[in-house]
Structure 1
Amino acid sequence: MSAEFTLRPAPSEVVRRDWRLPLVAAGVWTAALAGLYGTVTTGTLTALACLALVVAGLRWRRGLTAALATAAFGGMLGAGVTTVHVAARDHAGITALTETETSGEAELVLHTVPKASTRRPEMVTATARLRSFESEDVAVEGNWQVLLVGSGEEWLQVSSGQRITVPAVLREADSGRLTAAIVSARGPPELDGRPALAHRFAAHVRERLATAVDTVPQPEAGLIPALAVGDTSLMDAELAADFRSTGLVHLVVVSGYHLSLVVGAVLAVALALRAGPRARVLAGALAAAAIVVVAGPQPSVLRAAVMAGVTLLALAAGRPRAAMPALATAVLVVVLADPDMAAQAGFALSVAACVGLLLLAFRWAKPLEHRGWPQPVALAVTIPLATQVAVTPLLVGLGTGVSLVSVPVNLLAALVAAPVVMLSVGAAAAAVIWLPAGELVAQLAALPARWLIWLARTGAEIPGAMLPVPGGLWWGLAAAGALAAVIGLARVRALRRPLLAVLVAAGLGMIPACLLTGGPPSGWVVTMCDVGQGDALVLPAGDAVVVVDVGPEPAAVDACLEALEADRIALLVLSHFHIDHTAGIGGVLEGREVVAILAPPPGEAQYGFELVEERAGAVPVLEAVPGEVFEFGQTRLEVLGPPPELLSGTRSDPNNNSVTVRAEVAGTSVLLTGDVELEGQQALLRSGAALDVDVLKVPHHGSSFQVREFLEAADPAVALVGVGKGNEYGHPDPGPLAILEEEGALVFRTDEEGRITVVRNENRFEVTTGG
């Protein structure tokens, strides 16, 4: 007797082949992202259109139609939930207050710990919920998501979950987010009650860890809290920039890597103690919850926590592990719980890295294993490569550049990554229980941390380590298409070796290009470096250069000076001491000769002044005096401002008392204005100084604080705007740019063009951008 039967695939294989959850997640994410840029009406129409597609899909349940209907179901959910949030964001009462920039008293509950801005360390930012706002004429109550911006050390003492009252101005927020307003604090916060227990616990852990690392030398002491709980407040700004440029930033942002290590270690201990399935799940869940509470609701943390939760539930139910459905579930839960996550770059990069890990890394490791490589070694090679491939289109689209050293640096970092993260987390846990134990573990963590620091600094110093690429949606899609084509061609056996040879040849060909290219072009007049939301300009000065302002980060201005092959600074001009003009000073001073610094009195900007004073060392600091002249070869500088009697009582005295310089570079005139605003520009007009120039550095990043007569008096052929992409200040304002264009000026912006270099050939100006 015989019987015929069909072998069914294992349950785990069935789960891995089921793409319904990823399709629903993709639909939710897409609809939520679209809804954030829309209105209640457009969101409702999107939900209805998706519903129609779902109904149509019920009639044809196969092929592309079924897949489209599945994604549409997610779109219906995403659009519906996002529309509800958008309705609250666009509430008429809060919108009217932001449009008029109303002043009053705000009552808020902090959602995250106030952190110093990476661009302007004297300022702190935090996300919060605005519960009420009261001015002389109107009062509103609600529960709006807002961005809080303040200044002063007292903000760094406030923990998340704290209810505060503060005098503030409400300003319009950028589109595409659920942020209803920017709350600009106009004084210190008044604390109201105590935070919840979970927030107090997180603050206690951070405080004890900060105390424990006091026994460790810098920069290791600043790196350990970042590795443990994502607290970068103690981390050196230059080192943080190196971690970003070399692709090691995922180690200092708590992510799935951290959760997998900690939860895995807890489960291993529970298993060794012969704990049952429920006890193991409970222990893992408590470990994951503790990390989320201490690290805060960062996008990567939330995504990883939900994935860990799904995995633990599967473990408790005795079901096979399914990574891709777990990732899809994480996206579903996180975006539906907070649609604002759909627009956060950190969340997108985190998910993309996971997709690369799941779809590419293990697949690419198999051929290496077949050739005798141990699996851990094979995965150590393929994981950084796969994740870099997955995130590259997003990095291109965001315009952040692509690190050419990320893969080898991460490969070498893997030697100590797991031990140093576990030791850092262990230092935090031990410090909470007994501080001397935390200090001892922190000292142990410092040993492998030095390897990471050396890798980051060495990788960042390699010429051409960061490849500047054009940003934007279409460039991101083009990068995705190119990478998909390369991966597809690599699957064809006959093309695999020729393709590998071409890629290796291209990589080797870039080495001399990175090492040999650089230096200013012939006829160079001025270069505006791309330093984000800040200013840094370079002018020729014989066998040296003149640098005017240094931007907010050392790495950015250092890279610009490297590209110009500037080793000697004849004069460093600091227009004023705000951080977006001074915090990058380390990138100018390190490895270069600086003859002198020219600056105004510090005024209110004491933080920047102290920073410069500390880093300048023996370099003489000269006070700017109107009428003073400096000459270097064919370059002549004349100081026009600040006035002898400094301006006071203005909207921003440091801005209006900026050092203003008129430069003549081989017959070409350049006006460098710092951040002078209305009063400063009017003082320059009254001074009778020659303001008409060929090239104008537009004051204050092109803000709205401009005097039309000043811009008309300058009447430049080329206008340069130093501004960061997506900055929170709304710079540049369209009004001043329109005035300049009306007068016939060509306007160039660093947020759109990157580094800008002006060259003069006889009577003709040439402007090159990018880099």
Structure 2
Amino acid sequence: MSAEFTLRPAPSEVVRRDWRLPLVAAGVWAAALAGLYGGVVSGLVTTAVCAAVVALGRRSGRDLASAAATVAFGAVLGAGVTTAHVAARDHPGLTALTSAEAHGEAELVLRAVPKESARRPDMVIATARLRSFTTDDAVVHGNWQVLLVASGGEWLELDAGQRVVVSAVLREAEPGRLTAAVVSARGPPEAAGEPALPHRFAAHVRDRLAAAVEAVPQPEAGLIPALAVGDTSMMDPELAADFRTTGLVHLVVVSGYHLSLMVGAVLAVAVACRAGPRARVAAGAVAAGAIVVVAGPQPSVLRAAVMAGMTLLALAAGRPRAAMPALATAVLLVVLADPDMAAQAGFALSVAACVGLLLLAFRWARPLEHRGWPQGVALAVTIPLATQVAVTPLLVGLGSGVSLVSVPVNLLAALVAAPVVVLSVGAAAAAAVWLPAGELVAQVAAVPARWLIWLARTGAEVPGALLPVPGGVWWGLGSAAVLALVVGLLQVRRLRRAVLAVLLVAGLGAVPACLFSGGAPSGWVVTMCDVGQGDALVLPAGDAAVVVDVGPDPALVDACLDALGVERVALLVLSHFHIDHTAGIGGVLEGREVAAILAPPPGEARYGFAMVEERAGAVPLLEAVPGEVFEFGETRLEVLGPPEDLLSGTRSDPNNNSVTLRAEVAGTSVLLTGDVELEGQRALLNGGSALDVDVLKVPHHGSSFQVREFLEAAEPAVALVGVGAGNEYGHPDPGPLGVLEDGGALVFRTDEDGRITVSRNGARMEVRTEE
């Protein structure tokens, strides 16, 4: 008598086998990221060192050495591929042209639909491939990834895949990406041929969906295209900010959630039609491919598409789904295909959210299921909590702030999220075939969309909804360590209740902190809010405040005003109408009384003016007049500029015609300069106004367009620079900062110091920074 049986592998062997792909993917990602910031030589060195680690690890039978060798093997792949891309990026001919800022004719193929910049109303941006650049002396050919910067409405009429020829200037790009150059267009585009069929199909779907939602009132009409294909161009800026604040932004960025819903729906229909395995796989692949084509090559879309492809292959092979290897394979393939993805925050956040879902959400749901909770309800609670834990270190590292209302808002949003996404995508599909059908489905989708809008707006109004936290790598790593410790302690049964009790007490203690914390310090003079690449300053005005500029993001200026305890604005000053000074106006107006708005004539900045005019409603809009004086308690404001005869023909007339104010706050002087450049500063010098002050708001984010005599005439003790980290303009320029420091000024900048508050107690001036 004999028996046949199969020995199961040891648990440790199963773990090692299951984690090999994730370890390889981690090595690929790390090496790609290092290669993007390094050069060809560093990439070759990394490849050689990691190859040696692989060889040594294979000889050792130890688990740790084997894991290191597995990571090193991935690093060899990542470093090799990235080095080849970096070598192409750093082509000597192109590098010479960017260094010289050469003028010539560029032949481009657009990779994405051109969109208006969120920072400047007169700027259109798009990613593109540079096929050739011709100057009077030379011509270079290639296929480089570039950033296109242009102006003019004709650019907005182009679609992805369009080949264009345009007169342009080549400039150097920011390091750390595969972007080889910035192409600054110097004229309208000249189309050269039609886009490929997939791009024409995507444009057709987007255009028909935009036409279909015209039958739906705003803001639902702007939300539906965002939910369907990630097109936020029609979405209200304030609502978009509320979605970010409340952690609902993943719904308006096509991700794995969208693909899983749509592919699942298509597979369900295929099963209902009794389709075979091959037909089901083909239908799912077509659905995933259509979403990728219409939404475009966004990081989350590519990651999700590869994961969906792996799942469909497993289905076709009749094998069970292995989620973590599928995610690792997605990371591996996407980064090897395009190493630039390794440096994109959207890709990292998408992967982190998936890791949190796979490693934590299902594990945390089991105890709830054992206590009688239905599986769907348990997962509805644990999925937003797990994904929030997973992405928090990245959000902290990026300096994006942490939403304290994300988990409850996402829990409530789950009631309608799946239906509204399916209906929105259905509206796009129906409109592409027959517009009346698309209009009907869009009207149905608008009903659950109203619930999402209410949640976003209500959640964003909660005091302390967005917790501003210090940014940077070390803060991100620190928060990851703390969260890992908490999650680890929760796995210990003896400690679980105690840890949960501590977390509950901390959460309850945060409620009064959010409701009652904040307020300006004693002797407050001026605060420069950290609003990224833009300006927003606040001064006391008795029982109210004066706000000068509002930055580009409503949520950020709103959080700053909440922290200062500002409930009423005696005067809102808009130095000029560029987006980086006006787009956040909703964050000031919503929930606060604003007595009046002071601004210059709009000039060329018509987009920003129209936006302000629409948002302001019944708030009086006053035109700044030189010599005019406003007094609020111990604060006195005198208008120094713009001149009565507005400057024209300058590099930027809206900048040079900025409202310039001299403020006196309880004996401390502040010069608020907007974005005045060379001509505007010379006009102030020649105007005879008193420019020497205690505090200077450095003009135009500290750009190079500064008159040395103007900075020396101001002779401030403290200089404030409103600037975003890693901005594409190179602000601030070290030259003007050096002039100020040589004159004895202490220079503070929001990209390094966060929110900056100047106060005076007696004869002593104090500066407080809060990252």
Matching residue's letter, 1:274: R
1:461 aligns with 461
2:547 aligns with 547
Query: What is the CA deviation profile of residues 694-751 of structure 1, one whole-angstrom value per residue up to 9, with x for unaligned ones?
Result: 1110110111111222112111111111111222212112222222222221111112
Distance in 1 of aligned mates of 2:594 and 2:510: 32
Distance in 1 of aligned mates of 2:566 and 2:744: 33
1:409 aligns with 409
Matched, 1:441 2:445: no
Distance in 2 of aligned mates of 1:716 and 1:136: 47
- Aligned residues with identical type, % of pairs: 82
* Structure 2 residue matching 1:552: 3-state secondary structure: coil
2:692 aligns with 692
2:275 aligns with 275
- Residues 548 and 137 (structure 1), Cα distance of their counterparts in 2 relative to 1, 3 Å cut: farther
**Which aligned pairs between 1:85-234 and structure 2 lie closer than 5 A?**
85-234=85-234
Comparing 296-305 and 678-687, the one that deviates more: 678-687
Distance in 2 of aligned mates of 1:441 and 1:571: 45
**Which aligned pairs between 1:285-324 and structure 2 lie closer than 5 A?**
285-324=285-324
Matching residue's letter, 1:180: A
Matching residue's letter, 2:580: D
Comparing 565-574 and 103-112, the one that deviates more: 565-574
* Structure 2 residue matching 1:520: 3-state secondary structure: coil
Comparing 757-766 and 120-129, the one that deviates more: 120-129
Distance in 2 of aligned mates of 1:480 and 1:681: 47
1:255 aligns with 255
* Structure 2 residue matching 1:463: 3-state secondary structure: coil
* Structure 2 residue matching 1:637: 3-state secondary structure: strand
2:19 aligns with 19
* CA drift at 1:532: 1.5
Matching residue's letter, 2:108: L
1:764 aligns with 764
* CA drift at 1:59: 1.5
Matching residue's letter, 2:599: A
Matching residue's letter, 1:281: V
Distance in 2 of aligned mates of 1:468 and 1:560: 9
Query: What is the CA deviation profile of residues 395-446 of structure 1, one whole-angstrom value per residue up to 9, with x for unaligned ones?
Result: 1111111111111111111111100000001001111111111111111101
Comparing 170-179 and 581-590, the one that deviates more: 581-590
* Structure 1 residue matching 2:565: 3-state secondary structure: coil
Distance in 2 of aligned mates of 1:345 and 1:579: 23
2:587 aligns with 587
Distance in 1 of aligned mates of 2:580 and 2:104: 28
5+ residue gaps, structure 2: none
Distance in 1 of aligned mates of 2:376 and 2:386: 15
Indicate conservation of the 8 Å contact 1:576/1:602, yes or no.
yes
1:750 aligns with 750
1:55 aligns with 55
Indicate conservation of the 8 Å contact 1:16/1:322, yes or no.
no
* CA drift at 1:5: 4.6
* Structure 1 residue matching 2:463: 3-state secondary structure: coil
**Which aligned pairs between 1:705-720 and structure 2 lie closer than 5 A?**
705-720=705-720
1:388 aligns with 388
Comparing 57-66 and 190-199, the one that deviates more: 57-66
Matching residue's letter, 1:652: S
**Which aligned pairs between 1:262-661 and structure 2 lie closer than 5 A?**
262-661=262-661
Distance in 2 of aligned mates of 1:86 and 1:192: 29
Query: What is the CA deviation profile of residues 524-546 of structure 1, one whole-angstrom value per residue up to 9, with x for unaligned ones?
Result: 10111122111111111222221
Distance in 2 of aligned mates of 1:223 and 1:598: 32
Distance in 1 of aligned mates of 2:451 and 2:116: 27
Comparing 352-361 and 111-120, the one that deviates more: 111-120
* Structure 2 residue matching 1:526: 3-state secondary structure: strand
Distance in 1 of aligned mates of 2:4 and 2:211: 71
Indicate conservation of the 8 Å contact 2:121/2:608, yes or no.
no
* CA drift at 1:612: 1.9
Indicate conservation of the 8 Å contact 1:468/1:770, yes or no.
no
Indicate conservation of the 8 Å contact 2:106/2:130, yes or no.
yes
Query: What is the CA deviation profile of residues 59-95 of structure 1, one whole-angstrom value per residue up to 9, with x for unaligned ones?
Result: 1243111111111111011001101111111122222
Distance in 1 of aligned mates of 2:105 and 2:672: 38
Matching residue's letter, 1:457: R
Distance in 1 of aligned mates of 2:736 and 2:319: 63
* CA drift at 1:10: 12
Query: What is the CA deviation profile of residues 81-138 of structure 1, one whole-angstrom value per residue up to 9, with x for unaligned ones?
Result: 1011111111222222222323332211100111222333443221111112223444
Indicate conservation of the 8 Å contact 2:31/2:76, yes or no.
yes
Distance in 2 of aligned mates of 1:153 and 1:289: 31
* Structure 2 residue matching 1:182: 3-state secondary structure: strand
Matching residue's letter, 2:719: A
Matching residue's letter, 1:714: A
* Structure 2 residue matching 1:756: 3-state secondary structure: strand
Matching residue's letter, 1:30: A
TM-score for both structures, normalised by structure 2? 0.97
Matching residue's letter, 1:322: A
* CA drift at 1:15: 8.5
1:667 aligns with 667
- Residues 415 and 146 (structure 1), Cα distance of their counterparts in 2 relative to 1, 3 Å cut: same
Query: What is the CA deviation profile of residues 326-355 of structure 1, one whole-angstrom value per residue up to 9, with x for unaligned ones?
Result: 111100100000000000000000000111
Comparing 152-161 and 71-80, the one that deviates more: 152-161
Indicate conservation of the 8 Å contact 2:121/2:578, yes or no.
no
Indicate conservation of the 8 Å contact 1:177/1:340, yes or no.
yes
Distance in 1 of aligned mates of 2:416 and 2:347: 25
* Structure 1 residue matching 2:168: 3-state secondary structure: strand
Distance in 2 of aligned mates of 1:134 and 1:630: 55
- Residues 16 and 301 (structure 1), Cα distance of their counterparts in 2 relative to 1, 3 Å cut: farther
5+ residue gaps, structure 1: none
Matching residue's letter, 2:493: R
Indicate conservation of the 8 Å contact 1:16/1:325, yes or no.
no
* CA drift at 1:671: 0.5
Distance in 1 of aligned mates of 2:37 and 2:264: 40
Distance in 2 of aligned mates of 1:309 and 1:233: 29
Distance in 1 of aligned mates of 2:708 and 2:431: 59
Matching residue's letter, 1:594: V
Distance in 2 of aligned mates of 1:6 and 1:279: 35
Distance in 2 of aligned mates of 1:588 and 1:467: 18
1:243 aligns with 243
* Structure 1 residue matching 2:501: 3-state secondary structure: helix
Indicate conservation of the 8 Å contact 2:759/2:767, yes or no.
yes
- Residues 235 and 122 (structure 1), Cα distance of their counterparts in 2 relative to 1, 3 Å cut: farther
Indicate conservation of the 8 Å contact 1:119/1:553, yes or no.
no
Comparing 406-415 and 84-93, the one that deviates more: 84-93
* CA drift at 1:6: 5.0
* Structure 2 residue matching 1:455: 3-state secondary structure: helix
Distance in 2 of aligned mates of 1:354 and 1:613: 42
- Residues 648 and 751 (structure 1), Cα distance of their counterparts in 2 relative to 1, 3 Å cut: same
* Structure 1 residue matching 2:198: 3-state secondary structure: helix
